Each structure stands twice: as structure tokens, then as C-alpha cells.
Amino acid sequence: MIIFNISALGPPKPMLQFVGRELVETSRATMLRLPIDSAMHPFSTLPNHELGLYIMWMMSAVFVIFKLLAPAKCDIPTVNGRRRFEIGQYQARRRFSVDGRGIILNGLQMARVFRVVSQKGPKIILGPEYANEVKSHPACNADVFIAKEFHAHVSGFEVLRPQQVMKDAIRLRLTRSIGALMKPISAETALILESQWGNSNCWHELDLNFTIASLVSRVSAVMFVGEELGRDQKWLSIVTNYSSDMFVADLDLCKWPEALRPIATYFLPSCGKLRRHIREAALMLYPILSEGYSAHQNKQNFLDWLEEIAGDRKYNPVLAQLSLAAAAIDTTSDLIIKTLTDICRFRDSQKLQEDLREEMVRVLRADGWEKSAMYNLKLLDSVLKETQRVKPVVVFGMGRYVTEQITLHDGTVISKGETINVVNTRIWDPAVYPNPLEWDPYRFVRRRDSGDHAAHLVSPTPDHMGFGLGKHSCPGRFFAATKIKIILCHILLKYDVKIPDEEISTVISSGNFLFPDSTLRISVRRRQDNLTIWD
């Protein structure tokens, strides 16, 4: 059951909802309202916004004073707390922003369980040996962690609320439809590359981050909402910008005491952008949802799957699409960008590229665009997993909110209400991966050939948690891996690639994150492949 409130989109109208594909009136009392309504915030009627801000700052001051006077929790050591003469956590947060990875690695030398003051506030960090214990512990809740960590109760951040219908649609429809989606993904990739990269056999430069993000966002959108809306530049702008703007708004909101964030969101321009994106997305989806998507196209996509899976359950299609896009675009683009730069900067890049092309041609000629081809692209799979190992998106993950006091296997007690994370540092452990800081594209091919079933890209373990671990590991990783492999097949078989500026760092560390350098450029030229494997 789709619940869709359009009262915030213009002059007052009757409250409307979709029941199946039929639009009917409903009473406000029984309405689950779309968060686009939240744009009409209560402070918009204040005669003077400065009064509201003044009250908020006074409340913040009182809150901070109580926090400073409160006794510190000293059962678990803090590795980057306040230094002498420092008031508050501003400097500690700033130090973590500059060198979060170093602080985490130093903390592990001191203790296996410790606290850090991150950009988002204090949190407990656990060593990787706790991963299997935490992943299945009934008192370690991932959904509550995400909701609290990313302010899901705050206007503009509703996209982060738990959406079981979407998870079920990914697991029961998207993953099972990968085989049928491979040719459409390939066809859309070909169109985009021809349009954006061109057919010139002369070297020319592209903004690597922009071109890959554009490619990934459009391929994903066409699969999620169909060709008509998925190719619309306004829609692509909304789903792409929501994700990047949410990161900025999240950090802005974290500067406020948690109790005041539901109010502060209405005074922060970055949070206002999120509400605007949600409104605009609703306006674009409304005509499609009101008429029934199948009236536009005969091809099923994620909109239809959501409706099928939902049944009588209420869900929000706008939030589902923005949540799906945020998950699909950022992490997929991140891995493609990092992988391309690693390939180009490998000591024997030319041989590696030829080895990859030879494998791609051999496998695609034998299997075509079938799921078996993705399994048999062993070297490409190894290259991707190695990049994810050396340059993960985050240093610590597996975020959980502790709903009841727990005692870990070594006697460590974690109190109710704490947030915990498990570090992903075994990826840099020489006892697990020899020469761990060396990018070895053939590493996981060798492991796979020796019978290591965990050497596959989509197989998370405590030694390599690029996609999480356990039942909360990324449900869309099979679709993401397929999409990435298809895109890289098109790029490497159709283009010669190189990174023009060897002096630029490929990764920037910020807090818990390892971002691709935003200034990276890639040089490309069209190859004369004369291949017949694209149909």
C-alpha cells in the first residue's frame, strides 16, 4: 500500500492515498503522511526567526553545561578525548576528522575496546575479533543504529528510517532478477559511454569522479524507475544531490545537541536542501504512481516490485527511491573510481589491462551477458576485492545500537544505549594478507584457485567486511557487483585509460572515510576493438 500525501505540494487539497493503484481520499487521522509535509515547519510562522535561534542557543548552552558537569564514563578508555585546557569536544572531533584512521589504529595498539570522539560524537570501537559475536547478537540492533546515527527522526532525514518493504524487494525481486537486468545494464552503459566519453581515438581527459557518478546514477535510475524518468536530468540531479547533500547536512546537524536537532533542522540551509529534494522527487514520481507505472512501460522495475512485495503493508515510494539511490550511487561509484585508479597506477598497468581484456573477451564470448559470466570473471573480481581491501569506504563499520546491557566473550560489558562499531582493520593485517599495503590485483585469484570460497567479491568475512557482515550485510551487493563488472567491461574493452597526473593522491582520508580524490582526472581514447560481444 503506497501512502502519499500531496498536501504540501500546493494549495490545500483533500488528503489522498494510493491503495494498490487506486487513488482515494482518506482522513488525516488515518494518514501516514509523506515527509515532504515537513517542509512546512512550525517556525515558519514565527514573527522573527532570530527569536527562535536565540532560544535554541540558550537551550544548547544549558545542555552543554550539564554535559560538562556530568561524570565521565571511565569504564572504557577514550583514545582522543579532551586535552588539557580544552572545553567541550570540538578539538577532539577536529583531530578525528583530520586523522581518524590513525587514531583508530593507535587505539587498537592500546586496547581492543575503546572510545573515540568522532565527528558525530563519542562511540565505542571494537576490534575485529568481536565481529562474529556482534553480527548475530540479539541486543545489537543495526536498524536503530542507522536511525539514530543519521537522525531518521529529523525532518529531511526520513530516508534513513527502516524500510522493510524495500529490503524485501531487494532480496526477493532485485537479486533474483539480476540475470534479466544484465543486458539492459549493458545497453544503458553503452549509450552513456558513447555520449559522454565519445569515439575519438585521440587521448582526452575527463573528470573521473563526475563521469563515473553520472554513469552509475543513470544506469541505476533506469533499472529502478525505468527509462523515461531514469534518463531525466532533473531526476538524476535530485537523487545524486540528495546523497551528497545529506552527508553535509549530517555533519551540520551533529554540531547541535541531540535533543535540539529536530528543531535545528529548520534553521540549517543544508537540511532545507534535503526537504527540497524530497518534495521535488515526490512531484516527479506522483504522475507515474497515480497512473500506475505499467501504463508507461511494459518493463517491470523496482517501483513495480515494491508494490508487489508490499501487499497491504504501508510504505513510502519516494523515500524508498531516494534511499535506494543513495546506497547504489555512492558506494558503487567509489569502488569503480578507486579500481580504475589502481589499475592505471599499477606497476605493470599495461599487462594488467591486457590480462583483464583477454579474460573479458573469453568469458563474454563463451557465456554472453549471463550470471555465469560474472562468476567466471575471476581476475576482475579479484581486482575489485583487492581495491575494496586496500581502500575501503570506511575504517570501521558494523554499527549497532545496544538495546540491552551485553557482556562480550572476554567479559567486556557494554551498557544499554551505547553505539558500537567493529573495525575493518584485518584487511591491513600482515598475518591475514601478506604485504597488506601492496595492491596485488592477482591476490584473490590465487586464493580462489586454492579453494578459498571467501575470496569472492560478494563474500563478506571478519577478514574483509567491505559489504558488512552477517544478516545486515549489504543486501544489494550482488546487484552492485554485477553492475560494476558490466561497466568496467565496457570501459576497458572500449577504451584505453590512464591517469595523467601521477602526483595526485588517489584517496583522501576524512574521519572514518576514505574518499577518492575529487581532483582526479582520467585520460581515455577509443579502442578499435571490433568485438561482437555487446549484443
Report pLDDT digits (tens) over 391-448.
999 999 999 999 999 999 999 999 999 999 999 999 999 999 999 999 999 999 999 9
Is the per-residue pLDDT at 334 higher than 90? yes
Look-up: residue for cell 524530497? 278
Confidence of residue 84 (pLDDT cuts 50, 70, 90): confident
Stretch 511-521: mean pLDDT:
93
Is the per-residue pLDDT at 390 higher than 70? yes
Measuring CA to CA, how many Å separate 354 from each of 178, 359, 389? 27, 9, 23
Is the per-residue pLDDT at 69 higher than 60? no
In this prediction, residue 2 carries a pLDDT of 57
In this prediction, residue 62 carries a pLDDT of 56
Is the per-residue pLDDT at 295 higher than 80? no
Confidence of residue 346 (pLDDT cuts 50, 70, 90): very high
In this prediction, residue 58 carries a pLDDT of 61
What are the residues whose beta carbons fall under 8 Å from the beta carbon of 372, sequence distance 6 or more?
A: none
Stretch 55-82: mean pLDDT:
63
In this prediction, residue 40 carries a pLDDT of 40
Q: Within 13 Å, how many C-alpha atoms sit on residue 339's CB side?
A: 28
Report pLDDT digits (tens) over 127-171.
999 999 999 899 999 999 999 999 999 999 999 998 899 999 999
Kindly compute the dihedral angle of the four CA atoms of residues 493, 457, 164, 415, in this order, to the nearest 10 degrees: -140
3-state DSSP assignment of residue 465: coil
Is the per-residue pLDDT at 323 higher than 70? yes
344, 498 in Cβ contact below 8 A? yes
301, 224 in Cβ contact below 8 A? yes
Is the per-residue pLDDT at 24 higher than 80? no
Measuring CA to CA, how many Å separate 291 from each of 125, 181, 297, 526? 49, 24, 11, 43
Mean pLDDT is lowest, of 52-61, 221-230, 496-505, 515-524, for: 52-61
Kindly compute the dihedral angle of the four CA atoms of residues 491, 235, 310, 481, in this order, to the nearest 10 degrees: 10
Stretch 61-89: mean pLDDT:
69
In this prediction, residue 53 carries a pLDDT of 59
293, 306 in Cβ contact below 8 A? no
Q: How far apart are CA 260 and CA 252, in angstroms?
A: 13
In this prediction, residue 472 carries a pLDDT of 87
What are the residues whose beta carbons fall under 8 Å from the beta carbon of 409, sequence distance 6 or more?
A: 130, 133
Percent of the chain at pLDDT exceeding 90: 72
Is the per-residue pLDDT at 44 higher than 80? no
The rounded mean pLDDT for the chain is 86
In this prediction, residue 26 carries a pLDDT of 40
Confidence of residue 51 (pLDDT cuts 50, 70, 90): low
Report pLDDT digits (tens) over 102-119.
999 999 999 999 999 999
Is the per-residue pLDDT at 73 higher than 90? no
Q: How far apart are CA 122 and CA 421, in angstroms?
A: 11
In the numeric block, which cell numbers belong to residue 61? 548552552
Annotated ligand binding at 74? The verdict is no
Neighbours of 88 (CB within 10 A): 11
In this prediction, residue 37 carries a pLDDT of 41
Is the per-residue pLDDT at 34 higher than 60? no
Q: What would the DSSP string read from start to end of 348-392?
A: THHHHHHHHHHHHHHHHHHH-SSHHHHHH-HHHHHHHHHHHHHS-
Stretch 215-220: mean pLDDT:
97
Global pTM? 0.86
What does the longest C-alpha to C-alpha distance in the chain come to? 72
Measuring CA to CA, how many Å separate 17 from each of 7, 12, 155, 301? 11, 15, 21, 22
Mean pLDDT is lowest, of 54-68, 286-300, 515-529, for: 54-68
In this prediction, residue 298 carries a pLDDT of 52
| Strand ranges across the sheet with 140-141 | 113-118, 121-126, 419-423, 396-402, 140-141
Is the per-residue pLDDT at 21 higher than 70? no
SS (H, E, C) 153-167: CCCCCHHHCCCHHHH
278, 36 in Cβ contact below 8 A? yes
Q: Which domains does the chain have, with CATH numbers?
A: 7-41+73-526 (1.10.630.10)
Measuring CA to CA, how many Å separate 378 from each of 14, 144, 427? 57, 37, 20
Q: How far apart are CA 292 and CA 173, in angstroms?
A: 19
Residue 204: strand pairing partners = 524
Report pLDDT digits (tens) over 366-376.
999 999 999 99
- Beta-strand pair 419-423/121-126: parallel
Cα 85–Cα 89–Cα 90 angle in degrees, nearest 5: 95
Measuring CA to CA, how many Å separate 479 from each of 114, 140, 171, 185? 36, 27, 10, 11
